[in-house]
């Protein structure tokens, strides 16, 4: 098939082609619609750079002492502290009496309860950040099947009219070509990294700090910029990640760009005109073959009519006669081919030495 097409191109008559193109009025337009989809993985680097700082914070949380005070009857006091005595000294209404030794007999005392806790604002900030990260990564996991790709839709419209001699030729062509090019060479690597981040965030949830803060009040914007958040390096990175998520969560996991390009190149138009010329030649050749076939058919028809008019109508005699002439023609053709082959062999034999010299010269 390719060889036949090459033969057709090689056998194009340049004079006929130039005449054809000079008599052709052609309109051509080619439009390319490009839809580029890019999956945004830029957040992975920011998150990976912060995970080690988050790990240090959740495994070594800041703690403080919570002190609860309540005035209760003496019977409920389990421990008398310095704060209890100071409170009684300034609240005489809580004194019941003095005993015979002059000792104070209280009826109520200040009960002081102290508790070690991690429920700091800064820790709640980290807890809220971990919660946000879990939701964020789950959303990114839903986008794992997305692929970066470039979809190109090309459409070509070609119209032409040609008048040569008595031939009027018209063509209307519309060609559409859809192509998809996948551009995400590192997609699998990104997926592995996302899943690794997901595992680390899940591990944070099993730390004592995160478990202790379950049910605490989540922080919200604007974040209070305490000394710890502003100055401690690990909290600084956590705050940078918080602000990054604020901006990133407004975007979709993918970015889609559209572009439309129109190309009316004369070179491409000429290629379509060349194809148009070859197609019209095929129609012309088919018409000539048809006319030649009809001419031969008419001649054969006339011979049969003349034979019937001049002889009898016996179909068997006509068939036998036609078969006899057909066989004679085959024998004559065969004999002619043998004669040509004999002439060729005689020529080769007489000029063998000259042919060998030419062949040797060409090879050297």
Give the Cβ contact number of residue 144 at 10 Å.
14
Question: 104-106 and 95-98: which strand pairing?
Answer: antiparallel
Q: Give the C-alpha separation, 58 to 204, whole Å.
A: 7
Q: How confident is the model at residue 218 (pLDDT cuts 50, 70, 90)?
A: very high
Q: Rounded to whole angstroms, what are the CA distances from 201 to 15, 120, 236?
A: 76, 21, 19
Q: Give the C-alpha separation, 65 to 117, whole Å.
A: 6
Q: What is the mean pLDDT of residues 173-188?
A: 77
Query: Would you say residue 8 has pLDDT above 90?
Result: no
Q: pLDDT for 239-298, tens place per residue?
A: 999 999 988 765 665 666 677 778 777 888 888 888 888 777 766 665 444 445 455 566
- Mean pLDDT, rounded, of the chain: 77
Q: Give the C-alpha separation, 45 to 98, whole Å.
A: 72
Q: E-strand spans in the chain?
A: 24-39, 64-73, 95-98, 104-106, 108-117, 149-164, 167-182, 254-263
Query: Would you say residue 201 has pLDDT above 90?
Result: yes
Q: How far apart are the first and last CA of the chain?
A: 35
Q: pLDDT for 349-358, tens place per residue?
A: 665 665 565 5
Six-digit token string for 10: 């090689």
Task: Write down the pLDDT at residue 6.
Answer: 63
Q: pLDDT for 32-43, tens place per residue?
A: 888 887 777 888
CB 195 within 8 A of CB 137: no
Q: Rounded to whole angstroms, what are the CA distances from 253 to 36, 116, 146, 199, 287?
A: 14, 42, 9, 20, 61
Query: Would you say residue 1 has pLDDT above 60?
Result: no
Query: Would you say residue 3 has pLDDT above 50?
Result: no
CB 87 within 8 A of CB 110: yes
Higher pLDDT, 93 or 232: 232
Query: Would you say residue 194 has pLDDT above 80?
Result: yes
Among 6-10, 24-28, 219-223, 314-318, name the one with the lowest average pLDDT: 6-10
Q: What is the mean pLDDT of residues 101-108?
A: 72
Three-state SS letters, 79-99:
CCCHHHHHHHHHCHHHEEEEC
Whether pTM exceeds 0.85: no
Q: How confident is the model at residue 189 (pLDDT cuts 50, 70, 90)?
A: confident
């Amino acid at each position: 098939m390719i060889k036949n097409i090459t033969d057709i191109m090689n056998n194009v008559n340049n004079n006929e082609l130039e005449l054809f193109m000079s008599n052709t009025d052609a309109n051509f337009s080619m439009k390319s619609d490009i839809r580029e989809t890019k999956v945004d993985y830029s957040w992975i680097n920011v998150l990976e750079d912060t995970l080690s700082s988050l790990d240090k914070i959740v495994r070594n949380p800041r703690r403080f002492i919570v002190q609860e005070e309540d005035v209760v009857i003496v019977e409920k006091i389990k421990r008398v502290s310095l704060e209890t005595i100071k409170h009684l000294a300034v609240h005489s209404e809580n004194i019941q009496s003095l005993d015979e030794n002059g000792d104070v007999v209280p009826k109520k005392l200040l009960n002081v309860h102290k508790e070690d806790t991690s429920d700091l604002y800064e820790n709640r900030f980290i807890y809220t950040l971990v919660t946000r990260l879990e939701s964020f990564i789950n959303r990114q996991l839903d986008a794992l099947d997305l692929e970066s790709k470039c979809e190109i839709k090309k459409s070509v419209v070609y119209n032409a009219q040609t008048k040569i001699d008595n031939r009027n030729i018209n063509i209307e062509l519309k060609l559409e070509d859809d192509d998809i090019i996948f551009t995400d060479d590192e997609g699998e690597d990104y997926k592995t990294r996302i899943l690794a981040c997901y595992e680390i965030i899940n591990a944070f949830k099993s730390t004592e700090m995160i478990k202790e803060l379950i049910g605490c009040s989540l922080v919200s914007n604007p974040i209070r910029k305490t000394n710890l958040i502003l100055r401690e390096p690990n909290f600084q990175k956590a705050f940078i990640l918080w602000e990054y998520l604020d901006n990133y969560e407004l975007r979709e996991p993918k970015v889609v760009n559209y572009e439309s390009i129109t190309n009316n190149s004369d070179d491409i138009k000429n290629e379509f005109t060349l194809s148009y010329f070859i197609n019209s030649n095929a129609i012309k050749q088919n018409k000539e073959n048809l006319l030649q076939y009809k001419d031969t058919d008419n001649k054969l028809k006339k011979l049969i009519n003349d034979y019937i008019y001049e002889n009898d109508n016996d179909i068997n005699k006509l068939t036998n006669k036609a078969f006899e002439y057909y066989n004679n023609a085959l024998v004559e053709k065969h004999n002619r081919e043998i004669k040509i082959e004999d002439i060729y062999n005689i020529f080769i034999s007489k000029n063998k030495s000259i042919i060998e010299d030419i062949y040797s010269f060409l090879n050297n």
